[in-house]
Amino acid sequence: MAALLPGGDALDLARTLQSGQTFRWRWERGPGGGPVAVGVVGRDVFRLSQDGRELWLIAPDTPGGRARLTEYLGVSPAARRIPSIETALAADPVVARVLARTRGIGILAQDPWEVLVSFIVSANNNIPKICTSIDRLCRALGAPLGEGAFAFPTPDRLAAARSRMLAACLLGYRAPYVRAAARLIADGRLELARLARMPLDTARERLLEIPGVGEKVADCTLLFGLRHTSAFPVDVWVRRAVERLYFRGQPRTARQIQEFARERFGPLAGYAQQHLFCYARAHLRPRADDAPRRPPMRGDGGGARRPDRGELGGYRAIVANA
DNA sequence: GGGCAGGTGTAAT
DNA sequence: ATTACACCTGCC
């Protein structure tokens, strides 16, 4: 039997798991032929499905499993409901239109250690390879959980891993970063759990001291692992979305984008980021005249700058809200 | 095959 | 403070 998860109807499982915050979920065919999401959270191997809106926990269907999954998905009664978040975000006309394509994305309550490592690995990398690397790390250094599943490696295990092994996990030049981070945690020089209770900017400073952690990785760790919902990671997709949807395609620095997000979305900035990110990935293809910011080449003929009415119909952002 | 991929560290303005 | 460049490695 499977358990119906109360409150799961507002969550879009596929969108949430594919929204770039986690790299450890896979899709399988269930007995009935429908898609089943399989993922490891802590020491649980969860199997979930969502037909229409109803969200089902297939396994492990135990009281403890239900409680842990509910917490992880952010659909516990204590959590702020997704509908109220989306209603608040829709006060912004741009996000209101984005939401039509992204509704139901939640922010998972992941283990900050796993998030930290995952996003160190994500730097200058592509998603299929990130998933492969994380999977190999778990197989090589994580506790076996049965069904061919493995827990995420502890800081101790990762801190003691041989370079040869990390290379076999395809970490490349990031291997020393990952191991240095592991040692910080293993030695007790850094306690991630404490960062969740610190002010955003203070916690961010701490994370930036970790090798391999820049602003983007720090913000992802804050948002996806440490419950800092006002964090606003700026990657290439979010940059593209903000520049095109709010600034008529004009370049902005990461700092400007973050300042904008903080002003406009406050404690919901992290959720806004998720929606903008997913919208950009699905609907805002790269264009010759954005991000790369290479100097124009000779003979470029003055480069056709498009007028850019805005992908969403020409809404002009009011930068500072009234 | 060469460039790119959810950036970061480092050196040089 | 800002800018340029290299970087493991699999994939398109």
Residue-by-residue DSSP string for A215-231: HHHHHHIIIIIS--TT-
Cβ atoms of residues A155 and A185 within 8 Å? yes
Phi, psi angle pair for A170, to nearest 5°: 65, 35
In 3D, which of A81, A54, A71, A19 has the Cα closest to residue A273?
A: A19
- pTM of the full predicted structure? 0.91
Range list of β-strands (E), A64-185: 144-146, 149-150
Taking the CA of residue A214 and the C1' sugar atom of nucleotide B7, their distance in angstroms comes to 7
pLDDT digit string (tens) for chain A, length 322 residues: 799 998 899 999 999 999 999 999 999 999 999 999 999 999 999 999 998 899 999 999 999 999 999 999 999 888 889 999 999 999 999 999 999 999 999 999 999 999 999 999 999 999 999 999 999 999 999 999 998 999 999 999 999 999 999 999 999 999 999 999 999 999 999 999 999 999 999 999 999 999 999 999 999 999 999 999 999 999 999 999 999 999 999 999 999 999 999 999 999 999 999 999 999 999 998 876 564 444 333 333 333 333 333 334 332 232 222 2
State yes or no: is A129 an active-site residue. no
* Amino acid occupying residue A18: Q
A45's torsion region: left (phi>0), alpha (psi -120 to 50) or beta? Answer: beta
Kindly report the backbone phi and psi dihedral angles of residue A200, in degrees, each rounded to the nearest multiple of 5, phi listed first.
-50, -50
Residues 241-300 of A with CB under 7 A from strand C: 253, 255, 293, 295
Interatomic separation, CA of residue A116 and C1' of nucleotide B8, rounded (Å): 14
3-state secondary structure of A6: coil
